[in-house]
Amino acid sequence: MSKSHASGKTQEYLERYVEGVTKRNPGEPEFVQAVYEVASTIFPYIADKPQYHEMQILERMAEPERVISFRVPWTDNEGRIRTNRGWRVQFNSAIGPYKGGIRFHPSVNQSILKFLGFEQTFKNSLTGLPMGGGKGGANFNPKGKTDNEVMSFCQSFITELYRHIGEDTDIPAGDIGVGGREIGYMFGQYKRITNRFVGVLTGKGLEFGGSKMRTEATGYGAIFFLRNMLEHMGSGMEGKKVLVSGSGNVATHAAEKVTQLGGKALTLSDSGGIIHCADGFTQEQIDWIKDLKGLRRGRISEAADEFGNITFHEGIRPWGIEADFATPCATQNEINGDDAATMLKNGIKAVAEGANMPSEQAAVDAFQDAKILFGPAKAVNAGGVGVSGLEMSQNSARISWGTDQLRDLLENMMKDIHDSCAQFGTEKGGHVNYLAGSNIAGFVKVADAMLAYGHVQADRQNAQFKGVATHMWQRPCSFGRQD
Protein backbone atom coordinates (compact mmCIF):
# COMPACT_ATOMS: atom_id res chain seq x y z
CA MET A 1 0.00 0.00 0.00
CA SER A 2 1.25 3.48 -0.80
CA LYS A 3 2.07 5.98 1.88
CA SER A 4 -0.94 7.70 3.44
CA HIS A 5 -1.55 10.73 5.61
CA ALA A 6 -2.63 8.53 8.53
CA SER A 7 -0.56 6.92 11.28
CA GLY A 8 -0.88 4.52 14.21
CA LYS A 9 -4.34 3.18 14.96
CA THR A 10 -5.84 5.41 12.29
CA GLN A 11 -3.55 3.76 9.74
CA GLU A 12 -4.65 0.31 10.88
CA TYR A 13 -8.30 1.25 10.46
CA LEU A 14 -7.58 2.76 7.05
CA GLU A 15 -5.90 -0.45 5.89
CA ARG A 16 -8.87 -2.55 7.04
CA TYR A 17 -11.21 -0.19 5.24
CA VAL A 18 -9.24 -0.33 1.96
CA GLU A 19 -9.00 -4.12 2.27
CA GLY A 20 -12.78 -4.23 2.44
CA VAL A 21 -13.13 -1.93 -0.57
CA THR A 22 -10.73 -4.14 -2.53
CA LYS A 23 -12.63 -7.35 -1.65
CA ARG A 24 -15.95 -5.82 -2.66
CA ASN A 25 -14.58 -4.48 -5.94
CA PRO A 26 -12.28 -7.15 -7.42
CA GLY A 27 -10.49 -6.24 -10.61
CA GLU A 28 -11.19 -2.52 -10.20
CA PRO A 29 -7.78 -0.94 -9.45
CA GLU A 30 -8.69 2.57 -10.60
CA PHE A 31 -11.67 2.70 -8.27
CA VAL A 32 -9.70 1.33 -5.29
CA GLN A 33 -6.93 3.85 -6.00
CA ALA A 34 -9.42 6.74 -5.96
CA VAL A 35 -11.05 5.57 -2.72
CA TYR A 36 -7.67 5.13 -1.02
CA GLU A 37 -6.51 8.60 -2.05
CA VAL A 38 -9.59 10.16 -0.48
CA ALA A 39 -9.77 7.92 2.59
CA SER A 40 -6.11 8.47 3.50
CA THR A 41 -6.85 12.14 4.13
CA ILE A 42 -10.36 11.76 5.54
CA PHE A 43 -9.58 9.20 8.27
CA PRO A 44 -7.24 11.48 10.25
CA TYR A 45 -9.83 14.26 10.04
CA ILE A 46 -12.71 12.14 11.36
CA ALA A 47 -10.72 10.25 14.02
CA ASP A 48 -12.42 12.22 16.82
CA LYS A 49 -15.80 12.65 15.10
CA PRO A 50 -17.80 9.54 16.08
CA GLN A 51 -20.97 10.55 14.23
CA TYR A 52 -19.36 9.64 10.90
CA HIS A 53 -18.31 6.20 12.16
CA GLU A 54 -21.57 5.32 13.84
CA MET A 55 -23.44 5.85 10.59
CA GLN A 56 -20.71 4.19 8.46
CA ILE A 57 -20.53 7.25 6.22
CA LEU A 58 -17.26 6.42 4.43
CA GLU A 59 -18.34 2.82 3.89
CA ARG A 60 -21.58 4.05 2.33
CA MET A 61 -19.80 6.68 0.25
CA ALA A 62 -17.64 3.99 -1.37
CA GLU A 63 -20.70 2.11 -2.63
CA PRO A 64 -22.55 3.59 -5.64
CA GLU A 65 -26.26 4.10 -5.19
CA ARG A 66 -26.82 2.49 -8.58
CA VAL A 67 -24.80 1.04 -11.48
CA ILE A 68 -26.59 0.57 -14.80
CA SER A 69 -25.02 -1.56 -17.56
CA PHE A 70 -26.54 -2.06 -20.99
CA ARG A 71 -25.77 -3.13 -24.55
CA VAL A 72 -25.51 -0.55 -27.32
CA PRO A 73 -26.11 -2.01 -30.81
CA TRP A 74 -25.47 0.26 -33.79
CA THR A 75 -24.92 0.07 -37.54
CA ASP A 76 -21.69 1.03 -39.31
CA ASN A 77 -21.41 2.45 -42.82
CA GLU A 78 -21.14 -1.04 -44.34
CA GLY A 79 -24.46 -2.00 -42.82
CA ARG A 80 -22.92 -4.32 -40.23
CA ILE A 81 -24.44 -4.47 -36.77
CA ARG A 82 -21.91 -3.66 -34.06
CA THR A 83 -22.33 -3.93 -30.29
CA ASN A 84 -20.67 -2.06 -27.43
CA ARG A 85 -21.37 -1.85 -23.72
CA GLY A 86 -22.66 1.26 -21.99
CA TRP A 87 -22.81 2.24 -18.33
CA ARG A 88 -24.18 4.90 -16.03
CA VAL A 89 -22.86 5.01 -12.47
CA GLN A 90 -25.20 7.04 -10.28
CA PHE A 91 -22.87 7.34 -7.35
CA ASN A 92 -24.24 9.76 -4.76
CA SER A 93 -27.27 12.07 -4.74
CA ALA A 94 -27.03 13.36 -1.17
CA ILE A 95 -26.67 17.02 -2.16
CA GLY A 96 -28.43 17.06 -5.53
CA PRO A 97 -29.26 15.13 -8.71
CA TYR A 98 -26.52 12.99 -10.20
CA LYS A 99 -24.18 15.08 -12.37
CA GLY A 100 -21.19 13.95 -14.38
CA GLY A 101 -19.93 13.32 -17.88
CA ILE A 102 -20.23 10.57 -20.46
CA ARG A 103 -16.97 9.13 -21.81
CA PHE A 104 -16.58 7.25 -25.11
CA HIS A 105 -13.21 5.49 -25.23
CA PRO A 106 -12.08 1.87 -25.74
CA SER A 107 -10.52 1.87 -22.25
CA VAL A 108 -13.85 2.57 -20.51
CA ASN A 109 -14.91 -0.06 -18.00
CA GLN A 110 -16.86 -0.20 -14.76
CA SER A 111 -13.79 0.46 -12.59
CA ILE A 112 -12.90 3.66 -14.41
CA LEU A 113 -16.47 4.94 -14.34
CA LYS A 114 -16.84 4.16 -10.63
CA PHE A 115 -13.60 6.01 -9.87
CA LEU A 116 -14.80 8.98 -11.92
CA GLY A 117 -18.24 8.96 -10.26
CA PHE A 118 -16.66 8.76 -6.80
CA GLU A 119 -14.36 11.69 -7.57
CA GLN A 120 -17.25 13.60 -9.11
CA THR A 121 -19.17 13.45 -5.84
CA PHE A 122 -16.46 15.41 -4.02
CA LYS A 123 -15.76 17.71 -6.97
CA ASN A 124 -19.40 18.72 -7.29
CA SER A 125 -19.59 19.33 -3.56
CA LEU A 126 -16.66 21.75 -3.82
CA THR A 127 -18.47 23.93 -6.37
CA GLY A 128 -21.07 24.89 -3.79
CA LEU A 129 -23.86 23.99 -6.22
CA PRO A 130 -26.56 21.36 -5.45
CA MET A 131 -25.18 18.52 -7.58
CA GLY A 132 -24.57 14.88 -6.73
CA GLY A 133 -21.97 12.67 -8.40
CA GLY A 134 -22.31 10.36 -11.39
CA LYS A 135 -20.45 9.21 -14.49
CA GLY A 136 -21.20 7.18 -17.59
CA GLY A 137 -19.89 6.07 -20.94
CA ALA A 138 -19.15 3.22 -23.29
CA ASN A 139 -16.19 1.26 -24.63
CA PHE A 140 -16.80 2.86 -28.03
CA ASN A 141 -13.99 4.57 -29.92
CA PRO A 142 -15.23 7.56 -31.95
CA LYS A 143 -11.82 7.98 -33.62
CA GLY A 144 -11.93 6.98 -37.25
CA LYS A 145 -15.72 6.81 -37.28
CA THR A 146 -17.82 8.86 -39.68
CA ASP A 147 -20.42 11.34 -38.46
CA ASN A 148 -23.17 8.88 -39.43
CA GLU A 149 -21.56 6.08 -37.42
CA VAL A 150 -21.13 8.33 -34.38
CA MET A 151 -24.74 9.48 -34.74
CA SER A 152 -25.95 5.86 -34.94
CA PHE A 153 -24.06 4.97 -31.78
CA CYS A 154 -25.16 8.07 -29.82
CA GLN A 155 -28.81 7.54 -30.71
CA SER A 156 -28.67 3.89 -29.66
CA PHE A 157 -26.85 4.80 -26.43
CA ILE A 158 -29.43 7.39 -25.38
CA THR A 159 -32.35 5.16 -26.44
CA GLU A 160 -31.47 2.98 -23.45
CA LEU A 161 -30.10 5.65 -21.12
CA TYR A 162 -33.01 8.09 -21.47
CA ARG A 163 -35.18 6.12 -19.03
CA HIS A 164 -32.58 6.58 -16.26
CA ILE A 165 -31.91 10.32 -16.57
CA GLY A 166 -33.88 13.55 -16.18
CA GLU A 167 -33.44 17.23 -15.40
CA ASP A 168 -34.11 16.60 -11.68
CA THR A 169 -32.66 13.08 -11.52
CA ASP A 170 -29.43 12.71 -13.48
CA ILE A 171 -27.93 15.26 -15.88
CA PRO A 172 -25.01 13.89 -17.97
CA ALA A 173 -22.46 16.00 -19.85
CA GLY A 174 -19.48 15.43 -22.12
CA ASP A 175 -16.08 13.94 -21.34
CA ILE A 176 -13.32 12.26 -23.35
CA GLY A 177 -14.72 11.31 -26.76
CA VAL A 178 -17.95 13.19 -26.15
CA GLY A 179 -18.05 16.78 -27.39
CA GLY A 180 -20.61 19.09 -28.91
CA ARG A 181 -21.33 16.74 -31.82
CA GLU A 182 -22.11 13.77 -29.59
CA ILE A 183 -24.13 15.85 -27.10
CA GLY A 184 -26.21 17.18 -30.00
CA TYR A 185 -26.99 13.68 -31.29
CA MET A 186 -27.93 12.45 -27.82
CA PHE A 187 -30.05 15.46 -26.90
CA GLY A 188 -31.87 15.24 -30.23
CA GLN A 189 -32.69 11.58 -29.64
CA TYR A 190 -33.85 12.27 -26.06
CA LYS A 191 -36.15 15.00 -27.38
CA ARG A 192 -37.59 12.68 -30.05
CA ILE A 193 -38.31 9.90 -27.57
CA THR A 194 -39.78 12.00 -24.75
CA ASN A 195 -41.26 14.95 -26.66
CA ARG A 196 -39.73 17.21 -23.99
CA PHE A 197 -37.24 20.08 -24.30
CA VAL A 198 -35.54 20.19 -20.90
CA GLY A 199 -32.02 20.58 -19.55
CA VAL A 200 -31.31 16.86 -19.33
CA LEU A 201 -27.81 17.20 -20.81
CA THR A 202 -25.22 19.95 -20.44
CA GLY A 203 -22.55 20.97 -22.89
CA LYS A 204 -25.24 21.61 -25.48
CA GLY A 205 -24.86 23.97 -28.42
CA LEU A 206 -25.80 27.59 -27.82
CA GLU A 207 -28.62 27.18 -30.34
CA PHE A 208 -30.47 24.67 -28.16
CA GLY A 209 -29.91 25.61 -24.54
CA GLY A 210 -26.16 25.52 -24.07
CA SER A 211 -24.20 27.97 -21.95
CA LYS A 212 -21.53 30.40 -23.00
CA MET A 213 -18.14 29.67 -21.38
CA ARG A 214 -18.88 25.94 -21.02
CA THR A 215 -16.30 24.92 -23.61
CA GLU A 216 -13.61 27.03 -21.95
CA ALA A 217 -14.62 26.38 -18.36
CA THR A 218 -12.51 23.35 -17.35
CA GLY A 219 -9.26 24.59 -18.89
CA TYR A 220 -9.73 28.18 -17.78
CA GLY A 221 -10.79 27.06 -14.32
CA ALA A 222 -7.68 24.89 -13.95
CA ILE A 223 -5.41 27.86 -14.62
CA PHE A 224 -7.48 30.13 -12.37
CA PHE A 225 -6.91 27.59 -9.59
CA LEU A 226 -3.18 27.45 -10.37
CA ARG A 227 -3.05 31.24 -10.23
CA ASN A 228 -4.88 31.19 -6.88
CA MET A 229 -2.31 28.76 -5.45
CA LEU A 230 0.54 30.93 -6.70
CA GLU A 231 -0.96 34.15 -5.37
CA HIS A 232 -1.58 32.50 -1.99
CA MET A 233 2.19 31.96 -1.84
CA GLY A 234 3.01 35.45 -3.12
CA SER A 235 3.92 34.40 -6.68
CA GLY A 236 2.33 34.70 -10.12
CA MET A 237 2.09 33.41 -13.69
CA GLU A 238 3.94 36.16 -15.56
CA GLY A 239 6.85 34.80 -17.60
CA LYS A 240 6.53 31.27 -16.19
CA LYS A 241 6.82 28.13 -18.34
CA VAL A 242 4.01 25.57 -18.15
CA LEU A 243 3.84 21.97 -19.39
CA VAL A 244 0.38 21.01 -20.66
CA SER A 245 -0.58 17.49 -21.76
CA GLY A 246 -3.51 16.60 -23.96
CA SER A 247 -4.96 18.55 -26.89
CA GLY A 248 -8.71 18.52 -26.31
CA ASN A 249 -10.90 21.29 -24.91
CA VAL A 250 -9.31 21.20 -21.44
CA ALA A 251 -5.70 21.28 -22.66
CA THR A 252 -6.10 23.89 -25.40
CA HIS A 253 -8.06 26.27 -23.18
CA ALA A 254 -5.60 25.76 -20.33
CA ALA A 255 -2.79 26.70 -22.73
CA GLU A 256 -4.84 29.68 -23.92
CA LYS A 257 -5.41 30.98 -20.38
CA VAL A 258 -1.72 30.53 -19.52
CA THR A 259 -0.89 32.70 -22.51
CA GLN A 260 -3.50 35.32 -21.58
CA LEU A 261 -2.05 35.56 -18.06
CA GLY A 262 1.46 36.18 -19.36
CA GLY A 263 2.86 32.65 -19.05
CA LYS A 264 4.28 30.34 -21.70
CA ALA A 265 2.55 27.05 -22.52
CA LEU A 266 5.36 24.87 -23.90
CA THR A 267 3.68 21.56 -24.79
CA LEU A 268 0.53 19.79 -25.95
CA SER A 269 0.10 16.11 -26.76
CA ASP A 270 -2.03 13.26 -28.02
CA SER A 271 -1.61 9.48 -28.08
CA GLY A 272 1.04 9.80 -30.80
CA GLY A 273 3.45 12.05 -28.88
CA ILE A 274 4.02 15.69 -27.92
CA ILE A 275 4.58 19.01 -29.63
CA HIS A 276 7.03 21.45 -28.04
CA CYS A 277 7.34 25.20 -28.58
CA ALA A 278 10.25 26.62 -26.62
CA ASP A 279 8.91 30.17 -26.97
CA GLY A 280 5.42 29.23 -25.83
CA PHE A 281 2.42 28.79 -28.12
CA THR A 282 0.86 31.92 -29.60
CA GLN A 283 -2.88 32.47 -29.69
CA GLU A 284 -2.80 31.87 -33.45
CA GLN A 285 -1.15 28.48 -32.92
CA ILE A 286 -3.60 27.49 -30.18
CA ASP A 287 -6.56 28.44 -32.39
CA TRP A 288 -5.10 26.35 -35.22
CA ILE A 289 -4.72 23.34 -32.89
CA LYS A 290 -8.30 23.76 -31.64
CA ASP A 291 -9.47 23.55 -35.25
CA LEU A 292 -7.18 20.59 -35.94
CA LYS A 293 -8.42 18.51 -33.01
CA GLY A 294 -12.00 19.74 -32.67
CA LEU A 295 -13.12 19.98 -36.30
CA ARG A 296 -10.66 18.19 -38.56
CA ARG A 297 -9.92 15.52 -35.92
CA GLY A 298 -6.29 15.35 -36.99
CA ARG A 299 -3.10 14.35 -35.16
CA ILE A 300 -1.05 16.74 -33.05
CA SER A 301 2.04 16.02 -35.17
CA GLU A 302 0.49 18.10 -37.95
CA ALA A 303 1.18 21.27 -35.94
CA ALA A 304 4.92 20.73 -36.41
CA ASP A 305 4.40 20.68 -40.17
CA GLU A 306 2.42 23.93 -40.03
CA PHE A 307 4.65 26.01 -37.72
CA GLY A 308 8.42 26.26 -37.94
CA ASN A 309 9.04 26.82 -34.21
CA ILE A 310 7.08 23.74 -33.14
CA THR A 311 8.71 20.30 -32.95
CA PHE A 312 7.03 16.90 -32.66
CA HIS A 313 8.43 14.11 -30.49
CA GLU A 314 6.87 10.72 -31.08
CA GLY A 315 5.80 8.34 -28.33
CA ILE A 316 6.75 10.42 -25.28
CA ARG A 317 5.04 12.55 -22.64
CA PRO A 318 6.06 16.12 -21.81
CA TRP A 319 7.27 15.54 -18.26
CA GLY A 320 10.99 15.50 -19.11
CA ILE A 321 11.01 19.10 -20.34
CA GLU A 322 12.20 21.80 -17.94
CA ALA A 323 9.48 24.20 -16.82
CA ASP A 324 8.06 25.96 -13.77
CA PHE A 325 4.59 24.39 -13.59
CA ALA A 326 2.71 21.41 -15.02
CA THR A 327 -0.95 20.96 -15.90
CA PRO A 328 -1.72 17.35 -16.93
CA CYS A 329 -4.93 17.50 -18.98
CA ALA A 330 -4.95 14.21 -20.92
CA THR A 331 -6.17 11.20 -18.94
CA GLN A 332 -5.84 9.20 -15.72
CA ASN A 333 -2.45 7.93 -14.48
CA GLU A 334 -0.38 9.77 -17.10
CA ILE A 335 2.29 10.76 -14.54
CA ASN A 336 4.08 7.89 -12.76
CA GLY A 337 6.59 7.97 -9.95
CA ASP A 338 9.59 8.20 -12.28
CA ASP A 339 7.96 11.07 -14.18
CA ALA A 340 7.36 12.89 -10.91
CA ALA A 341 11.00 12.44 -9.86
CA THR A 342 12.14 13.87 -13.20
CA MET A 343 9.77 16.82 -12.92
CA LEU A 344 11.00 17.65 -9.42
CA LYS A 345 14.61 17.34 -10.53
CA ASN A 346 13.88 19.76 -13.38
CA GLY A 347 12.49 22.35 -10.99
CA ILE A 348 8.70 21.97 -11.27
CA LYS A 349 7.22 24.10 -8.47
CA ALA A 350 3.49 23.47 -8.95
CA VAL A 351 1.23 20.79 -10.46
CA ALA A 352 -2.42 21.49 -11.23
CA GLU A 353 -4.36 18.40 -12.36
CA GLY A 354 -6.62 19.34 -15.27
CA ALA A 355 -7.53 15.72 -16.08
CA ASN A 356 -9.18 13.28 -13.66
CA MET A 357 -6.59 11.49 -11.46
CA PRO A 358 -3.70 12.01 -13.92
CA SER A 359 -1.06 11.22 -11.29
CA GLU A 360 -0.39 7.70 -10.04
CA GLN A 361 -0.21 7.32 -6.26
CA ALA A 362 3.59 7.21 -6.35
CA ALA A 363 3.63 10.54 -8.18
CA VAL A 364 1.18 12.08 -5.71
CA ASP A 365 3.37 10.92 -2.82
CA ALA A 366 6.46 12.43 -4.48
CA PHE A 367 4.79 15.80 -4.99
CA GLN A 368 3.44 15.80 -1.44
CA ASP A 369 6.81 14.88 0.07
CA ALA A 370 8.53 17.64 -1.91
CA LYS A 371 6.01 20.18 -0.53
CA ILE A 372 5.42 21.72 -3.93
CA LEU A 373 2.04 23.22 -4.76
CA PHE A 374 -0.11 20.25 -5.76
CA GLY A 375 -3.67 20.95 -6.86
CA PRO A 376 -5.71 17.71 -7.14
CA ALA A 377 -8.15 17.14 -9.98
CA LYS A 378 -11.34 17.33 -7.94
CA ALA A 379 -10.53 20.96 -7.10
CA VAL A 380 -8.55 22.08 -10.14
CA ASN A 381 -10.91 20.90 -12.89
CA ALA A 382 -14.17 21.62 -11.04
CA GLY A 383 -14.78 24.69 -13.22
CA GLY A 384 -16.21 22.52 -15.99
CA VAL A 385 -18.94 20.95 -13.91
CA GLY A 386 -19.43 24.28 -12.17
CA VAL A 387 -20.42 25.98 -15.42
CA SER A 388 -22.49 22.88 -16.30
CA GLY A 389 -24.38 23.57 -13.09
CA LEU A 390 -24.86 27.15 -14.22
CA GLU A 391 -26.16 25.81 -17.55
CA MET A 392 -28.70 23.77 -15.58
CA SER A 393 -29.77 26.94 -13.75
CA GLN A 394 -30.17 28.84 -17.03
CA ASN A 395 -32.20 25.98 -18.54
CA SER A 396 -34.50 25.81 -15.52
CA ALA A 397 -35.14 29.56 -15.59
CA ARG A 398 -35.33 29.74 -19.42
CA ILE A 399 -32.66 32.46 -19.49
CA SER A 400 -29.19 32.93 -20.96
CA TRP A 401 -26.34 34.73 -19.22
CA GLY A 402 -23.59 36.64 -21.00
CA THR A 403 -19.93 35.66 -21.36
CA ASP A 404 -18.62 38.33 -18.97
CA GLN A 405 -21.07 37.36 -16.23
CA LEU A 406 -20.22 33.66 -16.58
CA ARG A 407 -16.48 34.33 -16.63
CA ASP A 408 -16.81 36.29 -13.39
CA LEU A 409 -18.88 33.50 -11.84
CA LEU A 410 -16.25 30.94 -12.90
CA GLU A 411 -13.38 32.99 -11.46
CA ASN A 412 -15.24 33.52 -8.20
CA MET A 413 -16.14 29.82 -8.01
CA MET A 414 -12.51 28.75 -8.43
CA LYS A 415 -11.44 31.28 -5.80
CA ASP A 416 -14.04 29.92 -3.38
CA ILE A 417 -12.90 26.33 -4.07
CA HIS A 418 -9.29 27.35 -3.47
CA ASP A 419 -10.17 29.07 -0.21
CA SER A 420 -12.14 26.04 1.01
CA CYS A 421 -9.14 23.82 0.27
CA ALA A 422 -6.84 26.22 2.09
CA GLN A 423 -9.20 26.35 5.07
CA PHE A 424 -9.08 22.58 5.60
CA GLY A 425 -5.58 21.94 4.24
CA THR A 426 -3.29 24.53 5.88
CA GLU A 427 -0.61 22.83 7.96
CA LYS A 428 1.69 24.14 10.66
CA GLY A 429 4.20 26.44 9.05
CA GLY A 430 1.72 27.68 6.45
CA HIS A 431 2.09 25.02 3.73
CA VAL A 432 -1.28 24.15 2.18
CA ASN A 433 -1.98 20.47 1.58
CA TYR A 434 -4.51 20.97 -1.20
CA LEU A 435 -5.08 17.23 -1.52
CA ALA A 436 -6.25 16.89 2.07
CA GLY A 437 -8.06 20.22 1.95
CA SER A 438 -10.09 19.36 -1.15
CA ASN A 439 -11.02 15.90 0.12
CA ILE A 440 -12.13 17.15 3.52
CA ALA A 441 -14.01 20.17 2.17
CA GLY A 442 -15.86 17.98 -0.33
CA PHE A 443 -16.50 15.25 2.22
CA VAL A 444 -18.03 17.39 4.97
CA LYS A 445 -20.94 18.71 2.89
CA VAL A 446 -21.89 15.30 1.48
CA ALA A 447 -21.39 13.49 4.80
CA ASP A 448 -23.51 15.96 6.75
CA ALA A 449 -26.32 15.63 4.20
CA MET A 450 -26.17 11.84 4.52
CA LEU A 451 -26.33 12.16 8.31
CA ALA A 452 -29.37 14.41 8.04
CA TYR A 453 -31.25 11.83 5.92
CA GLY A 454 -30.73 8.93 8.34
CA HIS A 455 -30.54 5.42 6.89
CA VAL A 456 -32.92 2.66 5.84
CA GLN A 457 -33.53 0.31 8.74
CA ALA A 458 -35.92 -2.64 8.95
CA ASP A 459 -35.37 -3.50 12.61
CA ARG A 460 -35.78 -0.59 15.02
CA GLN A 461 -33.77 -2.45 17.64
CA ASN A 462 -30.69 -2.02 15.47
CA ALA A 463 -30.96 1.71 16.08
CA GLN A 464 -30.06 1.31 19.76
CA PHE A 465 -26.34 1.99 19.97
CA LYS A 466 -25.09 0.70 23.32
CA GLY A 467 -21.74 1.90 24.53
CA VAL A 468 -21.19 4.13 21.50
CA ALA A 469 -17.51 4.38 20.63
CA THR A 470 -15.89 7.80 20.70
CA HIS A 471 -12.99 6.92 18.39
CA MET A 472 -13.14 5.09 15.11
CA TRP A 473 -10.69 2.33 16.05
CA GLN A 474 -13.02 1.28 18.89
CA ARG A 475 -15.69 0.35 16.35
CA PRO A 476 -15.42 -2.59 13.94
CA CYS A 477 -15.15 -1.78 10.25
CA SER A 478 -18.02 -3.67 8.63
CA PHE A 479 -16.93 -2.96 5.07
CA GLY A 480 -16.19 -6.16 3.23
CA ARG A 481 -18.04 -8.47 5.63
CA GLN A 482 -20.15 -11.14 3.99
CA ASP A 483 -22.69 -11.72 6.79
- Which residues are catalytic, by number? 135
Q: Give the pairing of strands 132-138 and 98-104.
A: parallel
